[in-house]
């Protein structure tokens, strides 16, 4: 899932595995929130989506998501990209604005390394969107359909799964989109509650 961000963005620093703390579970400066939380509720204007995390298989990714969620980073962002029978994508702070040309270009201001694992990308999988190898940031997607050939985490870090709220995911997937896969009606993440 390319997040459409330019590969030469000047404000993004690359944080590889060497930036992880000694516990190898977090990026520098982040808290190990997986020790406290295991799930999150994405509260959208179409209903709630509850996800469970694969913290043992993708600890840096999970803790990055939790740290961003705990600071309100995702609040009032949109599911800015919807591809029917494939996925819904969110996590871009640019999606708070109305300039759809910038959707898919935003992030937290840093990149971090992939954490490939054996979890297949199937309906309900939660995975990181990226621009290529080791370019994870804040954007993520939820798979909406069983894939004919389930992909393992060879291109995208699979870091969780939907445990409740697939009807909400399906509602968002069913929205009419423009030629750039942007929903015509907004699907907004109002907030994310860690549990």
Looking at residue 67, which CATH number applies to its domain? 2.40.100.10
The verdict on residue 14 lying in a domain is no
The verdict on residue 86 lying in a domain is yes
Q: Write down the pLDDT at residue 65.
A: 99
21-41 pLDDT per residue, tens: 435 788 989 999 998 999 999
Range of the domain at 142: 33-194
Is pTM beyond 0.75? Reply is yes
Mean pLDDT across the stretch 123-133?
95
Q: How many domains does the chain have?
A: 1
- Which residues fall within 8 angstroms of residue 22, CB to CB, at 6 or more apart? none
Cα-Cα-Cα-Cα torsion 174, 178, 182, 188, nearest 10 degrees, comes to -60
């Amino acid at each position: 899932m390319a997040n459409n961000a330019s590969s030469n963005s000047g404000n993004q620093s690359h944080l590889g595995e060497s930036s992880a703390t000694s516990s190898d579970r977090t990026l520098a400066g982040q808290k190990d929130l997986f020790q406290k939380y295991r799930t999150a509720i994405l509260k959208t204007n179409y209903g709630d989506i509850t996800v469970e995390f694969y913290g043992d298989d993708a600890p840096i990714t999970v803790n990055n998501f939790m740290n961003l969620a705990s600071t309100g980073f995702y609040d009032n962002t949109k599911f800015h990209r919807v591809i029917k029978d494939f996925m819904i994508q969110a996590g871009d702070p640019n999606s708070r604005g109305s300039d759809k040309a910038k959707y898919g270009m935003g992030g937290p201001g840093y990149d971090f390394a992939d954490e490939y694992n054996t979890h297949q990308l199937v309906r309900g999988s939660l995975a990181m969107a990226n621009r290529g190898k080791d370019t994870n940031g804040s954007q993520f997607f939820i798979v909406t359909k069983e894939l004919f050939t389930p992909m393992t985490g060879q291109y995208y870090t699979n870091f969780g799964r939907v445990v409740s709220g697939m009807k909400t995911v399906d509602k968002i997937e069913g929205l009419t989109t423009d030629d750039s896969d942007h929903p015509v009606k907004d699907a907004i993440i109002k907030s994310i509650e860690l549990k």
